Amino acid sequence: MDHRQPPPSQPFADAERPDQPDSLGRSVRFDHCPWLFEKEATEEERAAQRERQGSLDGDSEVGERCYVAESAAVLPDLLRLGDDSYIAAHAYVTGTLTTGTDCTLNPFTVARGTVSLGTGVRIGAHTSLLAFNHSMAPDRPIHRQPQTSRGITVGDDVWIGSHVVIVDGVTIGDHCVIGAGAVVTKDVPAWTVAAGNPARPIRDRREPTDPKRETGGTGAGTAAPEGLARFADAARAQAAGLLARCWDGDRYVDRPGVAPTVRAHCDAVEIADLLLSAAPAQLDRAEHIERLASLQDRDTGLVPELGERLPPMDADGFTGEGPALYHVLSVGYALDLLGGALPQPISGVRDMTAHQLVARLERLPWRDGAWEAGAWIDSWATAAHWNRRHPDGAALVPGTLEALFGWLLTRADPWTGMWGTPSTGAGRLQVVNGYYRLTRGSFAQFGVPVPHPERVVDAVLDHARDTRYFGAGRENACNVLDVAHPLWLCARQLSGGGGSDGGYRSAEIRGWAEQRLTAALARWQDGKGFGFGPGTAGPGPEPGLQGTEMWLAIVWLLADLLGRSDALGYRPRGVHRPEPATGA
């Protein structure tokens, strides 16, 4: 392998079909895989690259055997690019950049301000080195604040992973490794392996690897099978304590200090089933079943939030908003895991005709609220699943399930395989997240193949490159799950159930899964579990039951995309189960 090629754990998203020529007649292959240029370029391509280097802005000097991608925005005041170095596709360089020899700025790297790199520096894709800042005094708007710049210095023999952010004033010493997704706000001493947000030292690179130091005790610093096994063993050992931490003496809370919720109880059941193959120890199994079953409203069959009333029912008898929609999933599956069931059918779904269902599907907010639309279908279809299993024989009006799948199959966009419309403001977020909810409750739960799976993979991978949701420090459980599950579902379908290896865009899928899995394992906090993640959705970054339940399922999906899920020794059986529901 060429010594300048990125490590296998960080493949390039656009390198699967690198032989498509760009508008100038040169191959985009070299823009995305520039380490191949020296070996494979024709004389005409070398001449074009010399022309490219000669046309760079500012005071620019480029060493021997270098490559500057045509698609990179290289607009420096001063550039000194050492021998055998490259700037890859869509990088953005301004200000002053100086490098030693053998330095790499991989696709979508940002280097702004005064940035100095030593020799042998590897910078992963989507990483930003931001060597400037605004002041933020309250006497004037931010856009009128003066800028400051102290510069960023990176030593020799440094590997900076993908989606890292390094802020102004930071010095990274020689021989350091910065883990994917880190946010580096302070100097990093030589030989340090650092990760996290904010980045913290994990170990000295010269020391023999101690797996238990990688993530604060779990030994889960690697997505390799042995690291997955250590993570799962640690999670199982801590599971009882995690559940006890979130028991307030009478009910479950998502995390200490917040109010009890229905979902917290259900998440506790899911975690205990996943890691301990048992009911949570705070109540016996029969008491868990009785508590959850007693929450069901007698008239509608829905479950309101603790201490709250159900929202008004729509004209067709089924709610369109609020926690009761998700409780169809969470309470139903928690009871199922405990060996119980919802005591009565959900009347609005039981009595709805095919005509009423189609009319409701047409009214869902597909244009500007695809997630809301997908969540409604997830809840309706899950209620239909529970109704069909109800012991009194209450099922559905004949033809409603057929109407659901018929409507969905004929309305899927053949270009994306999805439902709904992307927006300028949010990109594909609503559409992709709505796709997960919709297909989870319908196609996946009932074992029906999804339409246009290749186009779904294309759309989802495109969304997964949106740094607003997958940039350093911006990932939350919802957004990662809503990419991981569609990729898993479509990869399984395209390969006939054999996983993602060797299938459509499999290298990109596996590369994304590898990065997300490594980052996910690093988020575990001993004795507390996982936090949901940043943003206004969900319970926030503090570790709790919802974050733990969701990330445990995400870890399984990502590991299974890589063919490593067996190392975990667990498999989701509840809301996030991979197989169709029994009897669906």
Position 317 confidence tier, pLDDT thresholds 50, 70, 90: confident
The pLDDT tens digits of the residues spanning 515-558 come to 899 889 989 999 999 999 987 667 889 999 999 999 999 999 99
Q: Which of 134, 327, 463, 576 is catalytic?
A: 134
Query: Which pLDDT does position 532 carry in this prediction?
Result: 95
The pLDDT tens digits of the residues spanning 424-480 come to 889 999 999 999 999 999 999 999 999 999 999 999 999 999 989 998 778 999 999
Query: Which pLDDT does position 208 carry in this prediction?
Result: 56
Query: Which pLDDT does position 501 carry in this prediction?
Result: 63
Higher pLDDT pick, 329 / 180: 329
Hey, CA dihedral for 79, 165, 142, 426, is it positive or negative? positive
Q: Is the pLDDT at 316 greater than 80, yes or no?
A: no
Position 584 confidence tier, pLDDT thresholds 50, 70, 90: low
Position 256 confidence tier, pLDDT thresholds 50, 70, 90: very high
Q: Is 134 a catalytic residue?
A: yes
Query: Which pLDDT does position 499 carry in this prediction?
Result: 61
Query: Which pLDDT does position 181 carry in this prediction?
Result: 86
Query: Which pLDDT does position 495 carry in this prediction?
Result: 85
- What's the mean pLDDT in 402-419? 97
The whole-angstrom separation of Cα 128 and Cα 343 is: 54
Task: Enter the pTM of the model.
Answer: 0.66
Query: Which pLDDT does position 28 carry in this prediction?
Result: 77
The pLDDT tens digits of the residues spanning 297-315 come to 999 999 999 999 988 888 7
The whole-angstrom separation of Cα 530 and Cα 242 is: 10
Query: Which pLDDT does position 582 carry in this prediction?
Result: 63
Whole-number mean pLDDT of the chain?
88
Our CA angle for 223, 559, 500, nearest 5°, is 120
Q: Is the pLDDT at 109 greater than 80, yes or no?
A: yes
> Which residues fall within 8 angstroms of residue 139, CB to CB, at 6 or more apart?
none
Position 23 confidence tier, pLDDT thresholds 50, 70, 90: very low
- Residue 77 exposure: Cα atoms within 13 Å on the Cβ side: 6
Q: Is the pLDDT at 40 greater than 90, yes or no?
A: no
Q: Is the pLDDT at 197 greater than 50, yes or no?
A: yes
What is the token pair recorded at 213?
A: 């130091």
With 0-12 CB in 10 A as exposed, 13-18 as middle and 19+ as buried, what is 233? middle
With 0-12 CB in 10 A as exposed, 13-18 as middle and 19+ as buried, what is 7? exposed
End-to-end CA distance of the chain: 49
